[in-house]
Chain A
């Protein structure tokens, strides 16, 4: 009896939190919509931007999910793998753009830039796994997490030391200026390209995981590492490949991110990293389709929420609180649905 009463204090806090969030969201959106603060076009632009941003989050989130699938660990340094891809691609893009090649042959040029980013991120991810994580596979769960936090700090500050701490302007492509008209909706060309590139890469990943031998090995390891090893799967090699694939996706995301925001920076991995992790959990960590959906919903939510809920509640300068929204989603998702929207509660 005593025990259940004490537990209910925690439950009470949780219920109160739920009520506050739901009431805030409902009242806020109702107030905003009834006041007609933004017109339809503005909402649509926010939505498209959200989808573009969300598809980048989805690419990063896939890296968290893949690694979590095989190792059951949160690769906290994944955001910095993403940053590293953006950073290396900047140097190539900058050189190509100075030579006039990038605007002369935009397709080949961007392919080169994308490839550099993917390769360099994959190499970094493999090194990370080999040096920092592999020796700790049998350690208690918090040990690799602390290592990953350290690795994240180490990578971002190494990049700061090596490449300098100023924000670097990513070259803009002439071909990406202006808008496309898709089904009567004008969409920024950059956003359209980013979204379609992300979709293509995700389809390729899905094919890789579902249809190839290595993909099957990855799925086998995520089911049961020891049994997979007994079935003749080279566990070390497959884990390294998983990190490489996650790194490639993150590297591609780095280029797309640089295209959308026109800049790269040594600290740019932190926030997208955390947000992509949220997306991965939102979709159910370990679940590939979930990561894609989670990324998209988080991107849209983050883009629309400040305008929708917060301005309706009369909060001044709601855009300052964008990251508060993202972190609140993170906290709420982890507290209320740690198994994600697609997952089921873990049976203990």
Chain B
């Protein structure tokens, strides 16, 4: 009986959290921002999903406790009821009391949205009913055995993701003369009901089918002789490369612009990953290297900069890289002996000093102050390139994509090789225990400087290419938020993990670019990502093995201690 009571008490607490979460999402403006974005047109919008998701998810958690089938379902119900009561009370409150002069987002359209356009009392009742329904569904999903649960959950998420891709998919389908497909799939910024059902079935089938398919193929490849295996691997890599090369043509110019951003941040993150991920030095002023790369490139290549040299990009690049590496050493040298957290703050200081100096009137004759430097020539000297056989016209983002891709591949290859080199091992040792590393003969000073120099050189590449893309450079670009964004990418993907960097920038740069409503909530989400990842999964989504072990070392120790304690008690 007490088990039941504790289950329900926990459910009630989770319900409270869920209610608070809903109110937060509503008041902070996320719900209204997405209220017009249909997921399944005529059925549910993304804004509505945000209101439904907390009770659903927390009821899922609440139903996970120990107890009978009915008790766990009841736990979900309790979570839903409490969450719903909180929401309903809030709806009643804001429809009778004006709070907009404090909470600026509680506008009449938002109140109308939360009332389901039904007026205060019925609206509150609907909110309660929806939360209870969500709670029951959440608990029910938890009670389904995992094997049938996974395709259901994946398919639901699949529908949401495909609907998010609407602003990109629809115009592209039309471009490829598939306007009828586009009309069939999408309606009013969302999936049509029929298309949603199809997508759902497709994803469910895929979740069920994929492991079987994968196992079969793997078994067949393993059974084949080595020569065939090599061929298969070669073909797979070739197909992947061709895909990457053709991507801007498939994606179109809007998505190519997004890809350019993703590429830029991937490059920056690859560089910061060397400093933070490999060497374990938390650098919060990474934007300084990006700025140095940008400004040096602009100074050297722009004919109307203060130097007025107008050197071709590819000749300037080595000078830029060298300059950035020197800056890395210059910033790195004084901070080497600092403890980890002080190092973070000092680098943050350096980053801000760099930005303020580029911005200042004092250095205006060199860097142009607020106006920055204009007239940076395009990367290949021309704005348009046509590829003869394929008939591609490359310009703007579709052109910038290629040098960025090339640099990303080179940087990733380089980062991969150095990770397993002597330097990589030295960093590993240093990160785990600096004193021991020093005692075993690792020259920590030099390896720290190396990390800073390499990180700076990789980061400046991003700046160099991006300057030619924009044809100008402004000091406003280089705020602390760039450093934090790059840090978030690494943390989300996993410190020290190269695939993690790519996934991180796709998720944190690519996704927000697709969701334009999202723009003003970006930093909010980055902050949330940092906190949640550190609390739940500090090793990141695609962890690096060594890093994961370090981060869970403490837990393992306490666990084994607990085990010993328990053993002692038993004895």
Contact = CB atoms under 8 A, between A and B. Distances in A.
Q: Interface on chain B toward A: helix, strand, loop, or mixed SS?
A: helix
Interface string B86-121: 000000000000000011110000000000000000
B523 A157 contact: yes
B218 interface: no
Contact of B362 (A10, A13, A316): A316
B22 to A, nearest CB: 14
A138 B558 contact: yes
A163 interface: yes
Contact of B348 (A73, A160, A164, A274): A274
B368 interface: no
A158 B524 contact: yes
A146 B282 contact: yes
A142 interface: yes
B341 interface: yes
A153 interface: yes
A153 B28 contact: no
A163 B356 contact: no
A153 B341 contact: no
Given A334-B346, A338-B342, A162 B445 contact: no
A156 B443 CA distance: 41
Contact of B551 (A139, A321, A334): A139
A136 interface: yes
A212 interface: no
B34 to A, nearest CB: 13
Contacts of A330: 345-346, 349
B531 A328 contact: no
Contacts of B480: 270
A331 B341 contact: no
B491 to A, nearest CB: 6
Nearest to A318: B362
Nearest to B365: A316
A136 B537 CA distance: 12
A232 interface: no
B105 A154 contact: no
Interface in A223-247: none
A220 to B, nearest CB: 23
Interface in A310-348: 315-318, 320-321, 323-324, 327-328, 330-331, 334-335, 338
Given A10-B333, A151-B531, A163 B282 contact: no
A275 to B, nearest CB: 11
Contact of A147 (B29, B353, B530, B558): B530
A178 interface: no
B554 interface: yes
B535 A136 contact: yes
Given A10-B445, A140-B551, A149-B284, A163 B102 contact: yes
A135 B538 CA distance: 12
A6 B352 CA distance: 29
A154 B529 CA distance: 9
A74 interface: yes
Contacts, number: 175
A308 to B, nearest CB: 16
A154 B531 CA distance: 9
A148 B522 CA distance: 18
A274 B551 CA distance: 28
A321 B526 contact: no
Contact of B29 (A132, A152, A161): A161
Given A320-B361, A323-B356, A147 B531 contact: yes
Summarize A's interface: helix, strand, loop or mixed: helix
B61 to A, nearest CB: 16
Contact of A153 (B361, B446, B523, B554): B523
A91 B29 contact: no
A348 B338 CA distance: 13
B276 to A, nearest CB: 9
Nearest to B102: A91
A324 B334 CA distance: 18
Contact of A10 (B30, B105, B336, B346): B336
Given A143-B534, A150-B529, A153-B484, A331 B336 contact: no
Given A146-B534, A323-B356, A151 B554 contact: no
B538 A143 contact: yes
Given A14-B333, A138-B554, A327 B356 contact: yes
Given A10-B445, A147-B531, A73 B341 contact: yes
Nearest to B346: A334
A277 B528 CA distance: 23
A150 B527 contact: yes
B362 A154 contact: no
Contacts of B565: none
B280 interface: yes
A316 B361 contact: yes
B335 interface: yes
A14 B27 CA distance: 50
A42 B488 CA distance: 46
A154 B102 contact: no
B341 A145 contact: yes
Contacts of A143: 534, 538, 551
Interface string B353-365: 1001101111010
Contacts of B445: 6-7, 10
A153 B526 contact: yes
A66 B529 CA distance: 27
B57 interface: no
Contact of A161 (B335, B364, B524, B555): B524
A144 B538 CA distance: 10
B341 A74 contact: yes
A145 B554 contact: no
Interface in B526-570: 526-531, 534-535, 538, 550-551, 554-555, 558
B334 A14 contact: yes
Interface in A1-20: 3, 6-7, 9-10, 13-14, 17
B333 A317 contact: no
Contacts of B551: 139-140, 143
Given A161-B29, A164-B104, A324-B353, 4 more contacts: A139-B538, A153-B527, A155-B527, A161-B27
Interface of B: 24, 27-30, 102-105, 280, 282, 284, 330, 333-342, 344-346, 348-350, 352-353, 356-357, 359-362, 364, 443, 445-446, 480, 484, 487-488, 491, 520-521, 523-524, 526-531, 534-535, 538, 550-551, 554-555, 558
30 contacts: A3-B443, A7-B445, A10-B333, A10-B334, A10-B336, A136-B535, A138-B558, A140-B554, A145-B282, A146-B534, A150-B534, A152-B527, A153-B526, A153-B527, A156-B523, A160-B524, A162-B27, A162-B105, A164-B104, A274-B348, A274-B352, A328-B349, A328-B353, A330-B346, A330-B349, A331-B334, A331-B349, A334-B335, A335-B334, A338-B342
Q: Which 6 A-B pairs have the closest CB atoms?
A: A150-B530, A153-B527, A154-B527, A161-B28, A157-B524, A164-B104
Interface of A: 3, 6-7, 9-10, 13-14, 17, 73-74, 91, 132, 135-136, 138-147, 149-158, 160-164, 270, 274, 277, 281, 315-318, 320-321, 323-324, 327-328, 330-331, 334-335, 338
